[in-house]
Amino acid sequence: KQEVTQIPAALSVPEGENLVLNCSFTDSAIYNLQWFRQDPGKGLTSLLLIQSSQREQTSGRLNASLDKSSGRSTLYIAASQPGDSATYLCAVRETSGSRLTFGEGTQLTVNP
């Protein structure tokens, strides 16, 4: 059974800092990995999707990497801003079209 773990569970940083969120998964036979953002009481916003054949994806200040063989992904946020404060979730998909298995998220607070 696939298990996804995110470390740390919570992170508080001053504005402007670069930071890394970690995601690990137990079964490396994944189809893709997706990073989401969730604001309190809201749904999930897709940030980045990495296919199993890719090593990284970038969108603006966000960069996600994937090391499938070791079962790890990282989300790098450059020059953090208070508006980045949210919970960040990673999820893996094991086969095309199948369910996503989520981690429990990292709650990020960026202080002005």
Partner 1 sequence: DTGVSQDPRHKITKRGQNVTFRCDPISEHNRLYWYRQTLGQGPEFLTYFQNEAQLEKSRLLSDRFSAERPKGSFSTLEIQRTEQGDSAMYLCASSEVDRNTEAFFGQGTRLTVV
In the complex, the residues that contact partner 1 under the rule CB under 8 A are 4, 31-32, 34, 36, 41-46, 49, 51, 89, 91, 93, 96-105
Rounded to 5°, the CA angle 28-32-33 comes to: 90
CA distances from 103 to 1, 31, 96, 106 (A): 13, 16, 19, 9
Q: In whole angstroms, how close is the CB of 72 to partner 1 at the nearest point?
A: 17
Task: Judge whether 2 and 94 are in contact, CB under 8 Å.
Answer: yes
Q: In whole angstroms, how close is the CB of 104 to partner 1 at the nearest point?
A: 5
Please say which residue, 32 or 85, places its beta carbon nearer to partner 1.
32
| Closest to 38 in 3D by CA, of 91, 78, 74 | 91
Please say which residue, 9 or 79, places its beta carbon nearer to partner 1.
9
Please say which residue, 69 or 96, places its beta carbon nearer to partner 1.
96
Q: In whole angstroms, how close is the CB of 15 to partner 1 at the nearest point?
A: 25
Which residues are bridge partners to 67 per DSSP? 72
Q: In whole angstroms, how close is the CB of 24 to partner 1 at the nearest point?
A: 14
Distance CA 72, CA 82 (A): 27
Please say which residue, 11 or 49, places its beta carbon nearer to partner 1.
49
